[in-house]
Each structure stands twice: as structure tokens, then as C-alpha cells.
Amino acid sequence: MTIEADKVRPLPASAASAACRTALASALLRYAPHVQLDKNGYTLEMEENLISGVRPEDFVSDLIQGDGNELGGKFRAAHSSSALAVNTFAPFKADPSALRLPGGDRFTHLSFERKCPHGLRGRRSPNLDLVAEHPGGIVAVESKFLEPLSPHKPEFAPAYFREITDSRRDTAWFAEMTRLTLNPSAYRWLDAGQLIKHALGISFTFPDRATTLLYLFWEPLNPDAHPVFEQHRQEIRQFADAVNGNGGPVFTALSYPDLWASWEDGGLPSGLQEHLVRLRSRYIVSILRD
């Protein structure tokens, strides 16, 4: 189900975010007409933000142990990145081997809001939206929804430079962290600082396994409605060029719509094909231009 877009002038980023929120709230109400949303686009109950077939028992215990308080309120937003990840991946909990992601397949275990300690004293461990384990290694997922429509500035505590003395210090990830302390405006829409912290945590938590950091991001059906979406993609490409090729996790990025398309092309069990239809009905929208 899509909401038609008019072809007028591009929106400022803040207005683009508002347009996305409106389109996503409308899509949720069309998908589940019985649901009530408040003025901010939040459901009354957490369960109302789940698509059919997603069961709380497949993710609630994982989210409770995380540090992000994901169930404390923001999970109820029609534009919640945590709910997007849960709605996408929770049905694979029953059969992880059916999941296909860049960097792995034949998965054996999935966990949401997985803490990946980075070994720094007194610093909170990174929480990954999803960690998928397979015989060849780990795929860790960072899920983004509307977050790239707000500017980000990287910040690193001195402990990152003082206490990381192992092989991570020789990676391109550490080099990019150093560069961003000197030039914090290198990225605007991509939260590069968070991704670097995630990579350092993944490397410390899984030192002897091949690892991939998969950046999953949402876009509307008509991303050309605003240049911020292409600017975000340009920053992703710039970041991938900077951090890949010299140790640490392999960084790769994919939009949610492209991920879902790959599942359709690659084949899914019949029950999961129905899940794919529900995902698209719930999250594939076009945004109105101003």
C-alpha cells in the first residue's frame, strides 16, 4: 500500500521527516484500521505496532536486557527503528536458517538488542539491533528509520584512545575515529560515531570470528522527494571506503526495501513469503512533497 506523492519542490530535512511520519502513520492505520494513534504517531499498546505473525515472546526478553529502554515508549512509534527491526526479523527466530543477509546465511541463532562490550571501563557497551550467528561468523545489524533525517556529530570519550591498545588500534575503523575527532563535520546524516563504536564492540566481543556490520536503513518509495536521502547514501559510500580493508568488521549497507527485494528473489518458505507481503504493506510508502 502506498501513499501517492505530488511532484513539487523538495522539502527541508525537518519537513521531510514530518512527511515520512505522516505517511508511515497513515500506512499503519490502513494496515490495521482498529489501531489508535496519538498526535505523535504512537500506538496505545506495544502490540499494536506489530505486524501479523510477530510474537512478543520472540523479542521482548531480548529488548528488556538491552540498555536502550526500547519498550519504554519509543517502540510504540509508527516510525520506530526498533519496531522495524523486530517486525522484519522476529519471525526468523523460529527458523534462523531461512534468513539471508549480506555477510552470511545458514544462521543458527538471532538476538535483538545484543550487548557487544568494547572493553572500556565505565563506558556503556554498544547495543546492536540484531546479532545473527552463523557457522562462518557474525552479522551484526544496526537499524535506522528516520534517524538519518536529523544531523549527527561524532563524539568519542578519551577512553577510546587511551584504553584501546590491542589490534583494533591498527584498523581503518580506529583511523577513521581519529580523523573524525579532527574533522567532526565529515558526515552529517550518517551517525558515523555510533557505527565506529559498534565496530569496536563487535571486534572485542567476537575477536576470533569473521564479522560483518550491516547498516540497514529505511527510505520511502520516492527518495528523490528530498536530496537528504541521496546525501545519506553518498555518506554511506564514503564511510565504507574509509573503514573497509584493514581489519575489524566488514561494513556493508542496504536499504530495507532492497533487503526485502533480495528475499523475494532468493526465495522464502511460504509462511515467510506472507510475512514479506505484510512488511511491504506496512512500511513501503511514498512521501508527499511540500
Q: What is the average pLDDT value for the chain, to the nearest integer?
A: 91
Assign 194 to helix, strand or coil. helix
**How distant, in Å, are the alpha carbons of 17, 21, 147 from that of 14?**
5, 11, 11
Residue 287, pLDDT > 70, answer yes
> Using CB atoms within 10 A of its CB, is residue 189 exposed (0-12), middle (13-18) or buried (19+)?
buried
Residue 249, pLDDT > 50, answer yes
The pLDDT value given to residue 187? 97
Highest mean pLDDT, choosing among 57-61, 118-122, 219-223: 219-223
- Integer Cα distance of 198 and 168 in angstroms: 12
Is 152 within 8 Å of 164 (Cβ atoms)? no
**How distant, in Å, are the alpha carbons of 72, 137, 184, 220, 236 from that of 255?**
26, 22, 25, 10, 11
> Using CB atoms within 10 A of its CB, is residue 74 exposed (0-12), middle (13-18) or buried (19+)?
middle
Residue 211, pLDDT > 70, answer yes
Residue 13, pLDDT > 90, answer no
Residue 3, pLDDT > 50, answer no
Is 146 within 8 Å of 25 (Cβ atoms)? no
Q: Could you tell me the pLDDT band of residue 289, with boundaries at 50, 70 and 90?
A: confident
Mean pLDDT of 183-204: 97
Of 9-18, 25-34, 148-157, the poorest mean pLDDT is in 9-18
Beta strands in the chain (DSSP E): 109-115, 127-134, 137-144, 210-217, 250-255
DSSP 120-175: -TTSPPPEEEEEEEETTEEEEEEEESSGGGS-------HHHHHH--SGGGGSHHHH
Mean pLDDT of 193-222: 97
- For the stretch 62-105, pLDDT in tens is 988 755 555 667 899 999 999 999 999 999 998 999 999 999 88
The per-type count for the chain, helices as H runs and strands as E runs, is: 9, 5
- For the stretch 223-244, pLDDT in tens is 999 999 999 999 999 999 999 9
The pLDDT value given to residue 68? 54
The pLDDT value given to residue 47? 94
Residue 57, pLDDT > 80, answer yes
pTM, whole model, 2 decimals?
0.92
The pLDDT value given to residue 1? 35
Is 99 within 8 Å of 92 (Cβ atoms)? yes
The pLDDT value given to residue 6? 37
